[in-house]
Copies of this chain bind each other. A is one copy, B any other.
Amino acid sequence: MSDEPHFRRLALIGVGLIGSSIAWAARRDNLVGEIVCSARTEETRARALELGVVDRAVATSAEAVAGADLVILCTPVGTFGKVAQEIGPHLEPGAIVSDVGSVKKTVVRDVGPHIPDGVHFIPAHPVAGTEQSGPDAGFAELFDQRWCILTPPAGCDPDAQARLAKFWEAMGSRVEIMDAEHHDLVLAITSHVPHLIAYNIVGTADDLEAVTESEVIKYSAGGFRDFTRLAASDPTMWRDVFLNNREAVLEMLGRFSEDLSALQRSIRWADGDALFDLFTRTRTIRRRIIDAGQEVETPDFGRPHGGSDD
């Protein structure tokens, strides 16, 4: 069994950063017999073939899923309803349909109704990525030691769930099972609000009159540049995330703003002790993230200092 591919044919709907990384990881670990992807543009299909990411690249998701025993939606979550409608009639009995969307409640709502009986629908979210996008951005190691969250609906087939979990584990991931609603709340604070804040401060800096953009760029090593990484993430994907996780994002954003107001007040009234207490408390969390294998130990993310790369 261990030498056998876990799936006969993998269909990737979309072949961007995550789709192409799944393809590379699945090939590396010999997990699938064949990989087919669909992509809207001829350019992306040609590029995916040229890179050798997939065996076949087709224009429609309906074509892609024909004969596939594992289907993974890797397009922005805003497209999922339409994609599900298109593929529904073409899915093989016994196939598993999954996704990689960063929100899960609306995925259940948008995709679920289009999945026919006898096909297993198991939403998933690999918590991994970089700020780059497109088929060129993918690499096999992206999921190594990162968590992949499955949010199986009630009544989900345990064998299908176990097969999908095994697939992700074989790609290097650790797998966690979670309720879709709780997933969206957890990711709002660990991913969505951080991205929103990063986008926001980069926008604020860009709009200043008293400080030039050239100054922002020159002195960005003071801390600002860290935020520009998240703020360089794919705009379509992130628009869809915020439109599809509105409640949880607004809830977490409310708390963030409330805390920021308190901090602002501490600065205005020169409450050094309140500042010092917070700044001391926050150090511990990074230490725990490093200990949990979710962050590098080296200072400054291991950015090179000195030399031509810096």
A216 to B144, CA, bound (A): 18
Contact check, A219 vs B187: say whether CB atoms are below 8 A apart: yes
A249 in the interface, Cβ–Cβ < 8 Å?
yes
Q: Decide yes or no whether A158 CB sits under 8 A from chain B.
A: no
Whether the pair B231, A216 counts as a contact (CB closer than 8 A) is no
List residues of chain B with CB within 8 A of the CB of A220. Answer: 190, 289, 294-295
Q: How many copies does the complex hold?
A: 2
Check: A71 CB closer than 8 A to any chain B CB: no
Give how many A residues have a beta carbon under 8 Å from the other chain's beta carbons.
120
Are A194 and B223 interface neighbours, CB within 8 A?
yes
Known contacts A144-B306, A280-B235: A194-B201 contact under CB 8 Å: yes
A309/B280 in contact, CB under 8 A:
no
In the assembled complex, the CB of A268 is this many whole angstroms from the nearest CB of chain B, namely: 6
A residues engaging B (CB < 8 A)? Answer: 78, 102, 127-132, 137, 139-142, 144-147, 149, 172, 176, 185-187, 189-208, 210-211, 213, 215-233, 235-236, 238-240, 242-243, 246, 249-250, 252-253, 255-257, 259-261, 263-264, 267-268, 270, 272, 275-276, 278-283, 285-289, 292-307, 309-310
